[in-house]
Structure formats: structure tokens, C-alpha cells
Amino acid sequence: MYSPNIQNIIKMFQNSENPNIILQVSLEDLKKFAEEILLGAKSIAMIEAEAAASGSQLISVDDAAKLLAVSKMTLYRWDKNGVLKKVEIGGKRRYRKSDIDHLIGSKRSNLL
């Protein structure tokens, strides 16, 4: 979600034993950081609004794997192959429940 430079700074703070670090940031870098945060927030809001408008519930990777009786790796491959596309919110993968229900329905009809 964040640029590699921002991610490195975040990791530096997370791994630091000294919580009293002083960081000097240029105004331009601060503006870019603020823009990244706002863009991420807008993206999350749009995905949530789309899910709410379509009545679709978003579920976690673990729950999706359990419902489909497949591994997390299979879900990853399915996303890459376009079988079941993920939705990323705040850097976390989610799946639309409606997409999973559709996939389960198509699996059942193939068995009949």
C-alpha cells in the first residue's frame, strides 16, 4: 500500500528499541505521505461502498479457504488465474462471499 521508502521507515520504528526517535522530514515528503494515506483511505472507502451497494459480504482468507475446502495457496493461485479475485483492504486480502457462493454453485453443478 505504501511506497517502499515509507515501508522502510515504518519497519525502522517498529523494530526500534528506542521509542523516542526524532525524524526530520521535508515538507514535500510529508505531502507525499499524506497523499498516500488519503489515496489508500479513498480506495478502502470505495471498496467498502461497492460491497455495501452490491450487498456483498467480504470474508477473510481463512474463512474462504474453509468454505471452499482448499488451501490458502490455492486461493492465491486462483486469484492469479482469475478464478476467484481477491479484494485488498488495508493490505489484507478478502474475498467476496457472493463470488465464493457462485464458485461453490458452479462446482456443484459440474458434479451433477
| Same domain (yes/no): 89, 42 | no
| Same domain (yes/no): 29, 39 | yes
| Same domain (yes/no): 16, 28 | yes
Q: What range defines the domain where residue 27 resides?
A: 1-55
Residues 13, 6: Cα–Cα separation, whole Å: 11
At which residue does the C-alpha cell 523516542 appear?
20
Residue finishing a domain among 34, 55, 76:
55
Please give the model's pTM, rounded to 2 decimal places. Answer: 0.54
The residue type found at 104 is I
Q: What is the average pLDDT value for the chain, to the nearest integer?
A: 81
pLDDT band for position 112 (cuts 50, 70, 90): very low
User: Looking at the 3D structure of the chain, how many domains does it have?
Assistant: 2
| Same domain (yes/no): 63, 79 | yes
| Same domain (yes/no): 89, 108 | yes
pLDDT in tens, 37-95: 888 888 878 777 776 666 668 889 999 999 999 999 999 999 999 999 998 877 788 89
At which residue does the C-alpha cell 492465491 appear?
76
| Same domain (yes/no): 23, 64 | no
Burial tier of 98 (Cβ tally within 10 Å: 0-12, 13-18, 19+): middle
| Same domain (yes/no): 11, 34 | yes
Give 13's contacts (C-beta < 8 A, 6+ positions apart).
21
Confidence (pLDDT) at 18: 67
Q: What is the CATH number of the domain that holds 104?
A: 1.10.1660.10
